[in-house]
Amino acid sequence: METVTQPPTHCEFPCKGCGADLVYAPGTTTLTCQHCGMVNEIALKQEGVEELDYLAELQRVHTGADTVDVITVKCASCGAESAMQPGVTADRCAFCGTPLVAQQSSRRLIKPHSLLPFAVGENQAKGLFQQWMSTLWFAPSAIRTEAGGVRLRGIYIPAWTYDSRTSSDYTGERGDDYWETETYWDTETYTETQNGRMVTKSRQVQKTRQVRKTRWHSVSGRVSNAFDDLLVLATASLPKELAEKLEPWDLKSLVAYQDEFISGFVCESYGVDLEQGFGTACQMMRPTIEQTVCSDIGGDHQRIGSLSVQYFDITYKHLLLPVWLCAYLYRGKTYRFLVNARTGEVQGERPYSAMKIAILVISILLAVLGMVLVVMQQR
């Protein structure tokens, strides 16, 4: 089993021209030198992206393997864990902006075997950030000043994908609708002439109507499903609802992991391990399995009493996903802005200005009051 404490977070590749550090250029297969501008082509691996045996990997994890010690740091504010550049002992957390101090630590982690390289560059991400900021209604005016000078950080966040076949035994009930004719009494009004005047009266009349009823009977059976590339984000540092909105990811474009693709970027170590991730994947499978069961039961209505699911032929991939992240502080609270560095999808957190909202409400009330006064004066 390949294990490292952390994917190499700041890999160093010297420029062939001047010896300075090279950085991966998003959207290309090259490393560029920010000092002399020289372009260095990446020698791409020929191996494809493989699905790995889940149960075999769990066995290797549980039996233990060697680990390596690297300089890592865990943010006390948001819990993000990442590695620092060699020789750097202090920095700011890329996920929330909190000052950090490095500490030696060691963890046993499965090494990523594939990734999606950055396709959206930093300048494009900055443009998306500024565009997003300009669309924020009722946002405090000060946040444009606060966030204007914030630097975007390129980060690879960890994720798992799972493939699995399932066999599900179920018991339940099938409901079939049928119709019956029902007799009931209803009140009916009518008019008649009395003493030269029309008089309205009521009377009880017997009527019939069709009533739908359901006949239930017990059923049982077995259904099969196949799931492919169920994505489970393994980050413990980003708000789940925010990170999930960056989907979909173009997983068909995954490439084999190479250190060159993360040169100049930060990698987060996973906070959701392989087994925990599969537990989440099982929850994701459940609605589809239940839908298949209901289809197998048939009829007009279905009730599932018990459901026992077996999982087999389970495979997984451990991969890295590229994100541009901006974390800015406003009145002591951290707000984050994310860009899917493959598609340009943007998601973010934002503050609201109580003053602006109050002004709007007061303006609306004054406008309504003015209209009421005009109407009253015209009477």
- Residues in the chain with pLDDT values less than 50: 1-10, 65-70, 85-90, 104
Cβ within 8 Å of residue 284, ≥6 positions away: 230, 232
Whole-number CA gyration radius for the chain: 31
Asked if residue 338 lies in contact with residue 347, where contact means CB atoms within 8 angstroms, the answer is yes
Can you read off the two tokens belonging to residue 327? 């974390």
- List, as one string, the DSSP characters of 180-216: EEEEEEEEEEEEEEETTEEEEEEEEEEEEEEEEEEEE
pLDDT at 8: 42
25, 40 Cβ separation under 8 angstroms: no
Quick one: which of 282, 271, 263 has its CA closest to 225? 282
Whole-number Cα distances in Å, 361 to 135, 212, 311, 352: 20, 49, 55, 14
Nearest residue to 311 via CA among 276, 292, 285: 285
* CA separation for the pair 123, 344 (Å, rounded): 12
DSSP-derived pairing of the beta strands 70-74 and 103-105: antiparallel
Distance CA 354, CA 77 (A): 26
The pTM assigned to this predicted structure is 0.76
The per-residue pLDDT for 233 is 95
Residue 339 near residue 157 (C-beta atoms within 8 A)? no
For residue 130, the model assigns a pLDDT of: 75
Strands 301-330 and 153-194: antiparallel
Q: Is the peptide bond before 158 cis (omega within 30 degrees of 0)?
A: no
Compute φ and ψ for 350, nearest 5 degrees: -150, 150
